[in-house]
């Protein structure tokens, strides 16, 4: 097995863009990433493309990778089209990582893309694939995580204000992120006063839906040298996927698969959670950032709310989380989210993040969950990058 490096990243703005397509979004982010890596389409050996809902929403179930490759004149190479719920982009990354680390290919393009703004036309809610209990009985993601929030407050004394502070922090981070979907600041009071979505989770506690694409270029050590990409290359220290949980669904304040995959990732990278300088996590809801921070070992179980309040997860704090603004604020176009996390962390580790730079960052972690923890049809992705 050989080392793998990220040598180029590209991203579109996240938001609702009715005039854009999977192809146009993917093309824009890919061109951005190729330029960043200093290579052309002809240098790409393999495409791995993640999108979660391109079939049901856009009638492009299989060939999204080919579609985007075709736009760029990329031909005859292997293309993998990968689906794994919200972790589709991360799973596409893992496939490309294997292709390069295993010595099968030298230069891989990992494309994450989603176009969700057509959803309204379809007149149906976005629910998790095939999970009828949620669709039929209204046990939707906000409802599930509202139950998590209530349990976290009851078990650990987490306050409503602490939960709201996640949104406040991530909005503040997004103010300096030009690609983020929502960039205006909010206050704790505004979060708590925003319209209720489910239980105590309000509008500003929930991530938006949207369109977008994010792309990373992976290279083998040989390719890094050949393309002179050493200077800004970021090493992939671990990529771990764990799927299909079968355990008890209670308590709702911990996700066993994330505990498992993070420990495996730390072991592979030869580090512990105390070595992580910054992280992007699956903050689809305010409460989930708190739970993930605990499950990943950044703080003890139950201490996440207090850590947010103390500013530990803010830029300038002990371990900044969601410096990009996270899913909550940057946005969550499903298939693009996993690769977008890697765009942010790569720029941070290179010291290219401008006003939202985490100073001196050497080790960064990206975590995404996919599917429904409650249904056993889940997946957890953990990717560690290092400079």
Catalytic residues: 86, 332
Per-residue contact flags (x/-) with a second copy for residues 86 to 125, judged by CB under 8 A = --x--x--xx--xx-xxxx---------------------
Query: Is residue 242 at the binding interface for a second copy, with CB under 8 A as the rule?
Result: yes
- Among 81, 148, 220, 337, which residue interacts with a second copy (rule: CB under 8 A)? 81
Among 12, 30, 58, 220, binds a second copy (CB under 8 A): 58
Angle at the Cα of 84 (from 328 to 292), degrees rounded to 5?
A: 40
CA distance 307 to 313: 7
The region that residue 311 occupies, defined by phi over 0 for left and psi between -120 and 50 for alpha, beta otherwise, is left
Residue range at the interface with a second copy (CB under 8 A); choices 49-57, 179-187, 339-347, 353-361: 49-57
Task: Determine the interface stretch with a second copy among 25-33, 61-69, 172-180, 308-316 (rule: CB under 8 A).
Answer: 61-69
Q: DSSP string spanning 225-286?
A: HHTT-TTT-EEEEEEEEEE---S----TT--HHHHHHHHHHHHHHT--GGG--EEE---SBH
Binding of residue 221 to a second copy (CB under 8 A): no
Query: Exposed, middle or buried, 368 (CB in 10 Å: 0-12/13-18/19+)?
Result: buried
DSSP string computed for 90-151? HHHHHHHHHHHHTTS-SEEEEEEEEE-TTHHHHT-----TT-HHHHHH---HHHHHHHHHHH
Q: Which of 15, 17, 129, 273 binds a second copy (CB under 8 A)?
A: 129
Q: Is 38 exposed, middle or buried (0-12, 13-18, 19+ CB in 10 A)?
A: middle
Which residues on adjacent β-strands are paired with residue 255?
none
The answer to the question of residue 241 lying near a second copy (CB under 8 A) is yes
Which of 35, 75, 122, 225 contacts a second copy by CB under 8 A?
75
Question: d(Cα 327, Cα 368) in Å, to the nearest integer?
Answer: 10
Could you tell me the smallest distance in angstroms from the CB atom of residue 55 to a second copy? 3
Number of residues near a second copy (by CB under 8 A): 58
Among the residue ranges 75-83, 136-144, 208-216, 340-348, the one whose residues contact a second copy (CB under 8 A): 75-83
354 binds a second copy, rule: CB under 8 A: no
298 binds a second copy (CB under 8 A): no
Whole-angstrom distance, CA of residue 96 vs CA of residue 194: 41
Q: Answer yes or no whether residue 84 interacts with a second copy by CB under 8 A.
A: yes
Kindly state whether residue 140 participates in binding a second copy, applying the rule CB under 8 A: no
Binding letters toward a second copy, positions 259-288, x by CB under 8 A: -x----------------------------
The residues that touch a second copy, with contacts defined as CB under 8 A, are 1, 47, 52-53, 55-56, 58-63, 65-67, 69-70, 73-85, 88, 91, 94-95, 98-99, 101-104, 129-130, 240-247, 257, 260, 370-371, 376-379
């Amino acid at each position: 097995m050989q080392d793998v490096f990220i040598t180029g990243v590209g991203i579109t703005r996240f938001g609702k863009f009715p005039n854009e397509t999977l192809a146009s979004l993917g093309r824009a982010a890919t061109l951005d990433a190729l330029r960043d890596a200093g290579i052309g389409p002809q240098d790409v050996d393999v495409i791995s493309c993640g999108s979660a809902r391109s079939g049901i929403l856009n009638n492009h179930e299989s060939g999204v990778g080919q579609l985007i490759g075709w736009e760029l004149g990329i031909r005859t190479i292997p293309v993998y089209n990968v689906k794994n719920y919200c972790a589709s982009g991360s799973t596409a990354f893992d496939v490309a990582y294997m292709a390069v680390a295993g010595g099968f290919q030298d230069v891989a393009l990992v494309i994450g893309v989603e176009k969700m703004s057509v959803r309204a036309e379809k007149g149906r809610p976005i629910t998790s694939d095939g999970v009828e209990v949620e669709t039929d009985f209204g046990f939707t993601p906000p409802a599930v995580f509202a139950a998590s929030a209530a349990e976290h407050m009851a078990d650990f004394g987490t306050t409503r204000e602490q939960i709201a502070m996640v949104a406040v922090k991530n909005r503040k981070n997004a103010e300096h992120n030009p690609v983020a979907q929502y960039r205006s600041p909010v206050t704790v009071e505004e979060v708590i006063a925003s319209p209720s979505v489910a239980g105590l989770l309000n509008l500003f506690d929930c991530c938006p839906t949207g369109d977008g694409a994010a792309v990373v270029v992976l290279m083998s050590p040989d390719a890094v040298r050949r393309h002179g990409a050493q200077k800004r290359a970021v090493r992939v220290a671990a990529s771990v996927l764990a799927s299909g949980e079968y355990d008890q669904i209670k308590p709702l304040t911990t996700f066993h698969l994330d505990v498992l995959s993070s420990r495996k990732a730390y072991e592979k990278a030869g580090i512990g959670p105390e070595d992580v300088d910054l992280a992007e996590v699956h903050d689809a809801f305010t409460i989930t950032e708190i739970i993930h921070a605990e499950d990943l070992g950044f703080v003890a179980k139950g201490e996440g709310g207090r850590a947010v309040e103390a500013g530990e997860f803010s830029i300038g704090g002990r371990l900044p989380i969601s410096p990009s603004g996270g899913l909550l604020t940057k946005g969550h176009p499903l298939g693009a989210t996993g690769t977008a996390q890697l765009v942010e962390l790569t720029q941070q580790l290179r010291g290219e993040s401008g006003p939202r730079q985490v100073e001196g960052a050497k080790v960064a972690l990206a975590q995404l969950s996919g599917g429904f923890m409650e249904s056993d049809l889940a997946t957890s992705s953990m990717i560690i990058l290092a400079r």
